[in-house]
Amino acid sequence: MLLAAGYVLFGLAAIVAIVNFYLSFLRAPICRLLGGDPRNVTGIPAIGTLFLIGALICVERTQFAWAAAIVLAVLDTGGLPWFLLMVTWMALRQRGKVQ
């Protein structure tokens, strides 16, 4: 039962990651290509990371599970790893400016 819940959580994490990746990188070029006006649209923040952590707790810890989790974490632009990356980047960028 716990293993099945882990796979469901992996699936939900994958859906959230794909939606966030689409909204961050693919939506605007596709909109421009079709002649539309790409407006900024936010993704689904932090939910994908929570699903991913829950999935890793529930499933067997194989190399495939860890590889899939890393790929999903990289694709999930609304997740915690991207948040930490952007906060660090902004802080370093701000520190480089002369006050």
As a residue count, the chain comes to 99
CA angle 3, 48, 43 (to 5 degrees): 155
Q: Give the domain extent around 9.
A: 2-96
Q: Encode pLDDT of 41-90 as tens digits.
A: 888 999 999 999 999 999 988 999 999 999 999 999 999 999 999 999 99
Domain count, the chain: 1
Q: What is the pLDDT of residue 99?
A: 53
For 56, the token pair is: 């890793």
pLDDT score, position 37: 84
Task: Give exposure, 71-99, as e/b (b: 16+ Cβ within 10 Å).
Answer: ebbebbbbbbebeeeeeeeeeeeeeeeee
Alpha-carbon torsion (8, 13, 18, 19), positive or negative:
positive
* Per-residue pLDDT, 19: 95
Give pLDDT, residue 1.
87
| Rounded-to-integer distance, Cα 12 and Cα 7, Å | 9
pLDDT at residue 95 greater than cutoff 60: yes
